[in-house]
């Protein structure tokens, strides 16, 4: 039995005894955290989280998101403020994950802030119109 290097979940390695992660999701998030210099995540997160189901890593069509962000930018331009978009964020319960989502969004050019509400499973993004993609 091994312990996942990201989430701490005990697992039985399928390919080799040197496997460090319980799932592809944990491996991807671990690389992203380290690539972005966000190792503080591990000091903030809870002891253990459920592994990501394989369906999370499947390709998806996000065309609807482009339309929603364009509508948010059009509304912001009429009002002279920042664009705002509230999205569902299913399954987030770890404070470290909340912190990570907020910090990653701020790395986007034009990002103003991200507000994650884990209780309601939502994230509200604020950005300057025409600057985020």
The predicted model scores a pTM of: 0.62
pLDDT higher for 14 or 111? Answer: 111
Residue 22 has pLDDT above 90, yes or no: no
Return the domain boundaries, the chain.
1-59, 61-133
Closest CA to 86 of 63, 61, 65: 65
Tell me what pLDDT residue 46 has: 61
pLDDT single digits (tens) 100-115:
889 999 999 999 999 9
pLDDT single digits (tens) 46-85:
655 555 566 656 778 889 999 999 999 999 998 889 999 9
Taking the mean position of all CA atoms in its chain, how far away is CA 114? 11
For 45, the token pair is 């997160």
Tell me what pLDDT residue 111 has: 95
Query: Which CB contacts under 8 angstroms, 24+ apart, belong to 71-76?
Result: 73/129, 73/130, 76/129
Domain 61-133: assigned CATH number: 3.30.70.100
- Rounded to the nearest integer, the mean pLDDT of the chain is 84
């Amino acid at each position: 039995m091994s312990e996942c290097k990201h989430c701490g979940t005990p697992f039985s390695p399928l390919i080799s005894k040197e496997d460090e992660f319980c799932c592809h999701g944990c491996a991807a998030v671990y690389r992203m955290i380290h690539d972005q210099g966000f190792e503080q995540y591990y000091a903030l997160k809870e002891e253990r989280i459920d592994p990501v189901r394989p369906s999370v890593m499947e390709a998806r069509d996000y065309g609807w998101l482009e339309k929603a962000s364009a509508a948010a930018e059009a509304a912001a331009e009429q009002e002279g403020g920042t664009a705002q978009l509230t999205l569902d964020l299913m399954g987030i319960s770890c404070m470290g994950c909340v912190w990570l989502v907020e910090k990653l969004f701020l790395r986007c050019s034009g990002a103003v802030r991200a507000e994650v509400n884990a209780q309601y499973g939502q994230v509200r993004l604020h950005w300057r119109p025409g600057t985020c993609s």
